[in-house]
């Protein structure tokens, strides 16, 4: 396990690893319940967001770089997809406030390191990996222009 | 001990009406001795945000599948799973779930591989129950553990392996995926992730009857007459047919298996759970692209 992840992501990881495997789903559910609403400028204009095709439910993400140079990530996922909402909530919480370089340096295997692979299954974790990859790609595009 | 069947006239025409229950029947029988309600969903957390009071969760990924082999749990694994859930061998099990009961039908099919005798589906699934405003709870269900016997899984009647499918070519084969998957435009269901099939298309001679045709707008199964029109008249399946159904990983085809076997009474129906994620990656098996079913290879 790499320690190179930004502290916000390391904290989430440690939070999951500290609880027994059987309770990690409950923690994921807490994250799911805390996913903030998409701001109206995106909620009303899904075309300005990106669909995460790796997720089995309709999940949309959008990343911005603010005037302070820090990243803000927003995501939406339907209430009947709590696992996906949990993944989106973890990433939006941990990525928002990072610098673009920190986001680009997040290891692609981060979703596999938070102790959920067995609890939710590898196939489902792939949805979170897809979300992270797309988030990084959006930042790469924003910083390239 | 099993529970009396749902006498609903809506099911009377089906070959095995005892395999379905209505939401009203289930509400009336919640708490009956001998009845266990099981929720099985695509989303592993959906049960936690609210489930039918007293129901237990069975997850297809983490509980019904072997964690190492691409296979289902064995007799010992099934025994310890059902014992922990508090299910007895002679209990009536009613399964419901999200997505029109895809995973519920899949779980029912796996229960059937172990010969669990009385296992039924809630017609309309989780969505129908919630849409009708019936009770949902987040309270954890605790059932006393049971001693479910170790039963050897019997794959011979209900499950087809890839070699069975190769030997089956020329007999009825139903591809229940979307038309786009069938023709080979894509390997996954629209809006679903890639799950690792290297080639696209369908198994030669397979007819495309998307699974969703078996359900009405409200998510409940269509009537016997409508199902007969689709599977018997259109697809040419008869009582004597030997049928194999497949999809991508075997979940949607479990749903069609249920309709063919339990609702219109086709005796010999097997689910090819390897489905496209296996066939589409096998070396040198025949594949047809486009809308035509194709021929049995010479």
Q: What average pLDDT does this structure show over A54-71?
A: 89
List the helix and strand counts (H, then E) for chain B.
Answer: 9, 9
Residue A37 tokens read as 């609403």
Is B280 in contact with B182 (CB distance < 8 Å)?
no
B42 touches chain A (CB under 8 A): yes
Residue B127 has pLDDT above 70, yes or no: yes
Is A60 in contact with A81 (CB distance < 8 Å)?
no
The pTM of the full predicted model, rounded to 2 decimals, is 0.90
Cβ-count burial B215-229 (b if 16+ within 10 Å, e if not): beeebbbbebeebbe
A36 touches chain B (CB under 8 A): no
Residue B93 tokens read as 């099990």
Task: Tell whether ipTM is more than 0.90.
Answer: no
pLDDT above 90 covers a percentage of chain A that reads: 69
Contact between A120 and B67 using a beta-carbon 8 Å cutoff: no
Contacts of A143 (CB under 8 A, 6+ apart): A65, A100, A104
A133 touches chain B (CB under 8 A): no
pLDDT above 70 covers a percentage of chain B that reads: 97
Q: What average pLDDT does this structure show over A105-132?
A: 90
pLDDT above 90 covers a percentage of chain B that reads: 87
Q: Which residues of B are catalytic?
A: 247
pLDDT of residue B190: 54
**pLDDT tens-digit map of B146-169:** 999 999 999 999 999 999 999 999
Residue B192 has pLDDT above 70, yes or no: no
pLDDT of residue A122: 81
Is A113 in contact with A12 (CB distance < 8 Å)?
no
Sign (positive or negative) of CA dihedral B167, B168, B174, B179: positive
Residues in chain A within 8 Å Cβ distance of B195:
123
Residue B98 has pLDDT above 80, yes or no: yes
pLDDT of residue A1: 46
pLDDT of residue B198: 87
Kindly indicate the confidence band of residue A19, based on its pLDDT and cuts at 50, 70 and 90. Answer: very high
Q: What average pLDDT does this structure show over B47-58?
A: 97
Taking alpha carbons only, the member of A25, A118, A55, A56 closest to residue B99 is A56
Phi, psi (degrees; rounded to nearest 5) at B216: -85, 180
Out of A58, A79, A83, the one facing B44 most closely (by C-beta) is A83
pLDDT of residue A46: 82
Long-range contacts of the stretch A43-48 (C-beta < 8 A, 24+): A43/A76
Kindly indicate the confidence band of residue B30, based on its pLDDT and cuts at 50, 70 and 90. Answer: very high
Q: What average pLDDT does this structure show over B123-130?
A: 97
Q: Give the three-class secondary structure for A135.
A: helix
Q: What average pLDDT does this structure show over A118-142?
A: 90
Q: What average pLDDT does this structure show over B232-249?
A: 96
Taking alpha carbons only, the member of B231, B13, B40, B237 closest to residue B120 is B40
**Across B27-31, B148-152, B179-183, least confident range:** B179-183
Residues in chain B within 8 Å Cβ distance of A58:
191
Side-chain half-sphere of A113: how many Cα atoms within 13 Å? 16
pLDDT of residue B298: 82
Residue A88 has pLDDT above 80, yes or no: yes
Residues in chain A within 8 Å Cβ distance of B44:
25, 83, 119-121, 124
**pLDDT tens-digit map of B199-228:** 999 999 999 999 999 999 889 999 999 999
Decide which of B243 and B185 is more confident.
B243
Phi, psi (degrees; rounded to nearest 5) at B128: -65, -45
pLDDT of residue A44: 85
Q: Output the average pLDDT for chain B.
A: 94
Question: For testing the chain A interface, which of B40, B45, B106, B195 should be mutated: the one with the most A CBs within 10 Å?
Answer: B45
Contact between A55 and B42 using a beta-carbon 8 Å cutoff: no
Decide which of B191 and A117 is more confident.
A117
Contact between B43 and A57 using a beta-carbon 8 Å cutoff: yes
Complete DSSP assignment for B89-135 = TT-EEEEE-SGGGHHHHHHHHHHHHTT-S-EEEETTHHHHHHHTT--
Contact between A25 and B62 using a beta-carbon 8 Å cutoff: no
Contact between A29 and B48 using a beta-carbon 8 Å cutoff: yes
pLDDT of residue A53: 74
pLDDT of residue A4: 76
Number of inter-chain CB pairs under 8 A, A vs B: 56
Q: What average pLDDT does this structure show over A66-94?
A: 95
Show the 3-state SS of B22-82.
CHHHHHHHCCCCCEEEEECCCCCCCHHHCECCCCEECCHHHHHECCCCCCECCHHHHHHHH
* Residue ranges of E strands in A28-102: 50-51, 60-65, 71-76
């Amino acid at each position: 396990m790499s320690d190179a992840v930004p502290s916000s992501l390391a904290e989430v990881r440690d939070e999951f690893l500290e609880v027994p495997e059987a309770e990690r789903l409950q923690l994921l559910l807490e994250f799911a319940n805390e996913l903030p609403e998409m701001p109206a400028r995106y909620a009303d204009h899904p075309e300005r967001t990106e669909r995460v095709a790796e997720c089995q439910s309709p999940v949309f993400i959008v990343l911005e770089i603010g005037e302070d140079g820090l990243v803000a990530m927003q995501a939406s996922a339907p209430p009947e997809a709590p696992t996906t909402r949990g993944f989106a909530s973890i990433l939006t919480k941990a990525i928002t406030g990072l610098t673009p370089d920190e986001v680009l340096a997040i290891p692609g295997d981060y979703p596999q390191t938070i102790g959920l692979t067995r609890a939710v299954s590898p196939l489902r974790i792939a949805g979170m990996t897809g979300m992270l990859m797309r988030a990084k790609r959006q930042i790469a595009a924003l910083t390239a222009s | 001990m099993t529970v009396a069947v749902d006498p609903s006239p809506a099911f009377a025409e089906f070959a095995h009406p005892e395999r379905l229950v209505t939401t009203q029947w289930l509400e009336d029988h919640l708490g009956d001795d001998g009845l266990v309600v099981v929720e099985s969903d695509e989303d592993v957390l959906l049960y936690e945000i609210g489930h039918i009071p007293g129901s237990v969760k069975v997850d297809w990924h983490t509980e019904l599948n072997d964690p190492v082999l691409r296979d289902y749990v064995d007799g010992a694994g099934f025994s310890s799973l059902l014992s922990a859930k508090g299910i007895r061998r002679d209990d009536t099990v009613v399964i419901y779930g999200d997505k029109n009961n895809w995973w519920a039908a899949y779980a029912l099919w796996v229960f059937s591989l172990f010969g669990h005798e009385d296992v039924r589906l809630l017609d309309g699934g989780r969505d129908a129950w919630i849409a009708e405003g019936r009770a949902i709870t987040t309270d954890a269900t605790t059932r006393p553990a049971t001693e479910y016997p170790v039963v050897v899984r019997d794959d011979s009647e209900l499950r087809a392996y890839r070699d069975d499918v190769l030997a089956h070519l020329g007999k009825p084969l139903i591809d229940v995926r979307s038309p786009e998957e069938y023709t080979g435009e894509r390997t996954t269901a629209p809006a679903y992730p890639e799950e690792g099939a290297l080639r696209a298309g369908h198994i030669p001679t397979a007819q495309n009857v998307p699974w969703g045709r078996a359900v009405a707008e409200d998510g409940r199964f269509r009537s016997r007459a409508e199902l007969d029109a689709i599977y018997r008249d259109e697809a040419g399946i008869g009582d004597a047919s030997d049928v194999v159904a497949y999809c991508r990983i075997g979940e949607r085809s479990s749903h069609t298996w249920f309709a063919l076997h339990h609702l219109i009474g086709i005796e010999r129906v097997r689910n090819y759970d390897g489905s496209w994620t296996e066939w589409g990656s096998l070396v040198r098996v025949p594949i047809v692209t486009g809308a035509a079913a194709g021929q049995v290879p010479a």
